[in-house]
Homo-oligomer: A and B are copies of this chain.
Amino acid sequence: MTAARTPTGAAPSRGRRPGRSTGDDRELAILATAERLLEQRAFGDISIDDLARGAGISRPTFYFYFPSKDAVLLTLLDRVTEEADAAAGDVLDRLAEDPRARWRELIGRFHAAFGGHRAVVLACAEVRGTNAEVRRLWAAVLERWVQAVQAAIEGERRRGAAPDGLPARDLAIALNSMNERVWYATFAGDGPAVAEQDVVDVLLDVWLTAIYRSTAPQPA
């Protein structure tokens, strides 16, 4: 997981035009208001006015800090993916120790990271369809994870623990996609979904059978 980290809160180009000053807390107030309101209602039902008032400023002033409502969400998403990257750490480098345990650790940590900010995750899913910026950011994040998983699968094949089969990249895409959609359903709670306490084990099982043809892969 080669995370191109930036110090949290100083998003690359989004957020306010550069130049520190007293308005920093206003920016944070907007972000905090957004995450708070997102726990109560859908992103589409939150107006810029709501965000502004929640942060104690007027609507035009909001535009001084963020170019749009979506930019606020983007900044929130940045934080969550950074947290997920950090939580994932280097587990994939230690796969051979105990493959099943390490994969479970990976999936479990992602689950915890997303579950801790489900409001943000759900909001991103909500606007992914309409906002190209969110789509692009999410695509980039996913691409990093796909590459990491692809490399891990190739490593397991090289050491003889996993059989050959599908191109590792395709497999990595399919498995990551599954996780995304299954988590979404579990967090959103509408439609057929796996119960929250089971979801990590269900996903793990599919990952292991797809990669190893077995639910109990061998350590080195």
Q: Which A residues contact B (CB, under 8 angstroms)?
A: 42-44, 125-130, 135-136, 138-139, 142-143, 146, 165-166, 170-171, 173-178, 180-182, 185, 190-194, 198, 201-203, 205-206, 209-210, 213-215
Residues of B contacting A205 in the complex (Cβ-Cβ under 8 angstroms): 165-166, 171, 210
Residues of B contacting A129 in the complex (Cβ-Cβ under 8 angstroms): 42-44, 125-129
Please tell me if the beta carbons of A206 and B210 are within 8 angstroms of each other in the complex: yes
Most chain-B Cβ atoms within 10 A of its Cβ — which of A143, A146, A206?
A206
| Pairs A-B, 9 closest by C-beta atoms | A126-B129, A139-B191, A178-B178, A181-B181, A177-B181, A170-B202, A146-B192, A209-B209, A177-B182
When chains A and B are docked, how far (Å) is the Cα of A215 from the Cα of B163?
Answer: 12
A194 in complex: contacting residue of B174, B182, B202, CB < 8 Å: B174
**Given A171-B202, A214-B213, are A139 and B190 neighbors across the interface (CB < 8 Å)?**
yes
**Given A129-B129, A165-B215, A206-B206, are A198 and B182 neighbors across the interface (CB < 8 Å)?**
no
Residues of B contacting A165 in the complex (Cβ-Cβ under 8 angstroms): 205, 215
When chains A and B are docked, how far (Å) is the Cα of A174 from the Cα of B199?
Answer: 9
